[in-house]
Structures are given as structure tokens and as C-alpha cells.
Amino acid sequence: MTIPETQTAVVITAAGGPDVLVPERVPVGMPGPGQVLIRVTAAGINRHDVHQRAGGRHSDGNAVPGLEVCGTVAALGNGVEGLPAGGRVMALVQGGGYGQYAVASSALTMPVPDEFTDSEAAGIPEAVFTAWWNFFHLMSLGKDQFGLFHGGTSGVGHIALQAMSALGYKVLATAGSDGKVAAAKAFGAYAAFSYRDPELAAKVMDATGGAGISALLDVSAGAHLEQDLKMMADDGQIAHLSGGGGAALAIPLRDVMTKRIRITGSLLRPLPLDRKVLVAESIRKEVWPLLGREVRPVIAQEFDFRDAAAAHRLMEANSHIGKIMLRVTHD
């Protein structure tokens, strides 16, 4: 395959709103040892991309956003085996997904199930890596416990609910409307409620038979903390995925101390590669056999990648269910 020297990619030109996302010609990176160059055909939109755009092009080390892609193998770095040239793959990437070519670690690159379209495949990596790292590697959720996902119909949430329920985990969910609550239940939530419900904690405790939540994944930057602390099990854990733009979080220490609740959080992108590899091994073993059967992304809407600004506007409207995707075309 002939690899061009430059590509079209969507670049964050400054800190700001969606209009700072502009297609530009940029160099095509080449894979180093243990890496693969992917000719991208689809990429996922994630909330992280929105935060990166708002912070500016250098806020996260790469002017081209995008954490998950699908495409074909264009070139292999030294030491990479088992990925045939031209083979369809999906990958978790360190930025660069909104471009025609992206470099990925071969350890985080996986074959695409025949049943999946490219857009469906590109919507898988960020969701399953986020869910598996936080629920199992960070919080060690067991099947005899209850988990909860705030935002159960989000791009990450709806895939996590499908996979975890298929494996026998009891995960509750919250959402922002009656329609989304119903959708979360359809995705496999053990129970689902509106996060606006003033009786949320009481309803969660009732749904869990008084056991409470042992592992809670929060994408709201602590917006529901008062209710969260009331619904937690003894020794439960809360993991935050959003820093809320740097806002401080006021924590009632007595509530934390009474139940010995541990509050933590993580960012997937700066997680060391060796830890991501461990997550990838778990995903290959547990999730990949479910793809195309129990687990399939719902595509809310697709955009041409040059129109990523419109995709970000939809993300920020918070009205969608499932994944927002980019179709990546080539010149």
C-alpha cells in the first residue's frame, strides 16, 4: 500500500467551541516499534474530545483529537505480528482519530468482527476500555455486588451495560429523561432511574434490596454526590471520569467516613501503556466473544469527518442515545 506523506485531519486550531475544529493537511505519522499505522475509515466522538477542544490544541498533546478508530492496516512497526496488511481493525489511539491515518499500539489494536460495520467497530474501543478499567481494574466490581453508571445511554454507558449484563454483572443506570431511562433498561441495566429524581438514592437502595452500590462510575463531575453517598454500600467506591473543568468538589466527610467510601477517578488517555495492555487482555477474553451478538453499538448519528464541528454540537446538546460517529473518507 502506498502511504501518502500528508493527510487531511481535523485540527483543534484554538481553545473554544465547535467552530475551532478545522480540516487541515498534516503529516502522516509512521509506526514505531510495536505500533501499527491504520488507514482510518471511521472514528468515534467522545466527551473527552469536547473537553480537549475547549482546552485548546495543546491541552492533551495532539492537535488532532479522536481516541478510537476503525480502518485497515497500512503499515507495521518493528516487532508487530498477527496483523495482516489490509486487515480490518479497530483500535484505541492516543489522539489522531479525526484523521485519515492514525498510529496505534499493536497491543490495543484488535480485529473487527465480520458482523460489524466500520462505524460500529469504531464505537467499541473507548467504551469497553473505559468500563473495564474503571469497574474491574480500578474498583474490582464482583458479581455479588451492585454497580451503577451515571449516564447509561451515553456512548460509553450503553455499550458497558450490554457487555456487563451479558456477563452476569448487576449494573444500575441513571439517565436524564423517561425515554433514556427506558433505553438504559433495554441495554441491560438491572434497574434505571432519572438522575433528577429527588428520591434517587432511596429507589436505588430499594432496587438493590438495601445492599447499595459497591462501584459507581460518574461522568457528571460529582453533580449527584449527595445522592451518591446515600446509595453507596459500605466500603463502596466512586470513580470519576470528568474533572468538571477543574471545579472543586465539596465532600461531606462524615458521610464518607461512616461507610468508608473511597472516592477516586481516572483518565484513560494518560494511563500507562502496560496497564492498558492488561485491560486489553481482559477485553479480548471477556468482551470480544460477545460482539455482534449481545453487544452492538447504537449509532445516534454519523457525520463526515470534515464536519466534526457539527458532531460536537450534537454531543454538547446531550440529546442523543448511543454513539456519535465520523465517516472518514479519503482524497
Which pLDDT value is given to residue 224? Answer: 84
For the chain, the 3-state helix, strand and coil shares in percent, each to the nearest 5, are 35, 30, 40
DSSP string computed for 171-186: EEEEESSHHHHHHHHH
Cell numbers at 237, concatenated:
467506591
Report whether 303 contacts 310 (CB < 8 A): yes
Cell numbers at 106, concatenated:
499493536
pTM surpassing 0.75? yes
Which pLDDT value is given to residue 160? Answer: 96
Report whether 99 contacts 246 (CB < 8 A): no
According to DSSP, the β-strands at 262-265 and 21-27 are unpaired
Which pLDDT value is given to residue 60? Answer: 63
Mind listing the domains of the chain with CATH numbers? 6-125+269-327 (3.90.180.10), 143-265 (3.40.50.720)
CA dist 72 and 168 (Å) reads 33
**Placement of cell 506523506 in the chain:** 5
Residue 7, helix vs strand vs coil: strand
Side-chain half-sphere exposure of 115, counting CA atoms within 13 A: 10
CA dist 152 and 170 (Å) reads 13
Cell numbers at 95, concatenated:
489522539
Which pLDDT value is given to residue 297? Answer: 97
**H-helix segments, the chain:** 47-55, 118-122, 125-132, 155-166, 178-186, 200-207, 225-231, 253-259, 273-286, 308-317
Average pLDDT for runs of 10 along the chain of length 331: 94 96 96 97 95 80 93 97 94 96 97 96 96 95 97 94 97 96 97 96 98 93 86 95 73 89 90 94 94 95 98 95 97 80
Give the CA distances from residue 219 to residues 174, 178, 238, 257, 267, in Å, rounded to whole numbers and listed in that order: 11, 19, 11, 23, 11
Which pLDDT value is given to residue 244? Answer: 65
